Amino acid sequence: MSATEDLLKIDEELYSRQLYVLGHEAMQKMATATVLVSGMTGLGVEIAKNVILAGVKSVTLHDQDDAQWRDLSSQFYLSENNVGQNRAKVSQEHLSKLNDNVEVIPHTSELTENFLATFKVVVLTNSSLKEQLDISDFCHANQICFVLANTKGLAGQVFCDFGENFVVYDPSEADPASAAIKHITLGNPGLLTVAHDDEQGHFFMDGDWVMFSEIEGMTQLNGSKPRQICVKGKNTLEIGDTSSFSPYQHGGIITQVKMPQKHSYKSLRACMANPKFNTQDSKKMFRYHTLHAAFQALHTFQNKYGRLPIIIPWQEDADMLVELVRIPAMDQEQENLIRTFAYGCMGDLSPMNSFIGGLAAQEVLKAVSGKFTPLDQWLYFDAYECLPEGDHNLRRYLQFLILFQKSGAIGCELLKNFAMIGLAAGEGGEITVTDMDIIEKSNLNRQFLFRPQDVSKQKSEVAAAAVRRMNPNINVIAQKNQVGPDTEHFYGDDFFLGLDGVVSALDNFQARNHVGERCVHYLKPLLDSGTDGTMGNALVFVPYLTKTHGHIQDGDGRDFPLCTLRYFPSNIQHTIQWARNQFEDLFKRRAEDTNKFLR
């Protein structure tokens, strides 16, 4: 078998949902990519986990240090027995089980230039400023994509440098715009009128490139090279010179073409003094500049004192960090932000690592696939609004009793974070997780708590067992009940009145509405979240503080989770959708694919 034929072998059952978002071409590029992730603390292992699940060729885990007690609060693959062992080697034992298609290699020596030259992408997470600058310079000079990620307490940063000639082949996450044609004039420029049945108009924008098909009369446009358009109104587009073409008769479709874009990035050294931030928001810009200066000052602090600012005494180290920050005419708001940053520098929080690690891993996939526009070039994030005001016993925040719906992709991530922060790990704390679904092969690509040997087992039970291994003190109870009116004898007054909070990651609107209504009724805080391709959402309901959970419409009722249709059809709409899917697969999709191939 040739290398090209072997490259085309993508495990469609494993990567089914990812293929829907990225496509085969991007997945094939990813399958040949070699990635280095340096630093196997909580953030590094988070990035490595995400990249491995996505399906690159290989991931090398670099760390020269041994596991320490403080690593156990955020590095979910380390346990007490691993203290004193190399973090990269221990992590490799676990990460290699996530995806049999990805080679996972530990590396415990220094990063030399010859070694770095073997990678498509280099990611640094736990490096000194000197190492960051030196490796960035080498990567920039040798067309190696470079990603820097770091978290300190409730603040994090991501930096990307993909070289001076990086090409994005598919810049947008959105599907290409398309519309039926009503009329095209002869002229220079020619005007195209879009046909539509509502008041919304078309979805084209100035500068879009388009192609044409199925036009009768002005056939010169059919299959011609992409043309750039100019929007002249809700229904009208300028499409360039049509003066020499045959008169338009009727019909036709105009479709947006995603043209490759060339991007040029500066090295980390060039972007330190004059940073380019990935935002146009003036408020965020102010905060980004302050955090950027704070992270730089922290490197100076560590180089000078050989440590991070300590929590006690609070004031002294914070004063020293403020003095090291290079901000002309610093105002009080900036100083307060830097002091807050200093107070939390010793913290290594799993939720922050999950967020920054997810962003960094996403940039790695952009680098290797050429799919979607990368960050340009710095991104900063903080969650200081999470800090309680005044003196609080933090232990009280870890005694939640939580009903957790669905151990799917988001569910696995949330359970992992709960285990790492010690939620329900004290006396009286308890997490109840319920999910009626069983594990399928396609889940393994997104839900890292599951392994191939878990296929056909109950999701909730496997997820609960996995997080108990991460934190033996966590008290988690697994159930396999559907959530809805039919199970109110399980989740009734006694159950909801005993809760401190509810977290849901449900995959249908009916169940989400039911849980939302229950939380409103019993005045329980709710965190609801979900994803759809490259998009995601989170909703927070706090009694007496935020608006109540509104009733979410179920659209046209045609979208149902595949696992529900296959294993748990519970109403007539499920059987109708199953029949519709079968019909479209047999008589529509195959015919469309054949016609597309023939064209």
pLDDT tens, per residue, the chain with 599 residues: 344 434 557 888 888 888 888 888 899 999 999 999 999 999 999 999 999 999 999 999 999 999 999 999 899 999 999 999 999 999 999 999 999 999 999 999 999 999 999 999 999 999 999 999 999 999 999 999 999 999 999 999 999 999 999 999 988 767 788 889 999 999 999 999 998 655 566 789 899 999 999 999 999 999 999 999 999 988 899 999 999 999 999 999 999 998 899 999 999 999 998 999 988 788 889 999 999 999 999 999 999 999 989 866 568 899 999 999 988 889 999 999 999 999 989 889 999 999 999 999 999 999 999 999 999 999 999 999 888 764 433 333 333 455 555 556 788 888 898 888 888 877 778 899 998 889 889 888 888 899 999 999 999 999 999 999 999 988 999 998 888 888 888 888 988 888 889 998 887 777 888 888 889 899 999 998 888 777 788 888 888 888 766 544 444 444 566 666 665 565 666 777 788 878 887 887 778 778 877 77
Rounded CA-CA distance 172/154 in Å is 30
**Parallel/antiparallel/unpaired status of strands 191-195 and 236-238:** antiparallel
Q: Which of 145, 271, 412, 563 is catalytic?
A: 563
Rounded CA-CA distance 90/111 in Å is 19
**The pTM of the whole model exceeds 0.85:** no
Cβ atoms of 414 and 530 within 8 Å: the answer is no
Distances (CA, A) of 597 to 115, 169, 226, 341, 585: 43, 22, 20, 57, 16
Task: Give me the phi and psi of 31, to 5 degrees please.
Answer: -70, -10
Distances (CA, A) of 130 to 303, 309, 522: 10, 19, 54
**3-state SS, one letter per residue, for 220-283:** HHECCCCEECEECCCCEEECCCCCCCCCCCECCEEEEECCCEEECCCCHHHHHHCCCECCCCHH
- Is 139 among the catalytic positions? no
The strand pairing partners of 432, in sequence order, are: 403, 477
Continuous H helices in 8-63: 16-22, 24-30, 42-54
Residue 591 burial by CB count (10 A; 0-12/13-18/19+): exposed, middle or buried? exposed
Q: How far separated are the first and last CA of the chain, in Å rounded?
A: 29
Which domains does the chain possess? 15-168+266-284+348-380 (3.40.50.720), 178-257 (2.40.30.180), 391-541 (3.40.50.720), 562-598 (no CATH)
Cβ atoms of 80 and 125 within 8 Å: the answer is no
Four-residue CA torsion sign, 210, 212, 213, 214: positive
Q: How many residues in total does the chain contain?
A: 599
Rounded CA-CA distance 324/341 in Å is 13
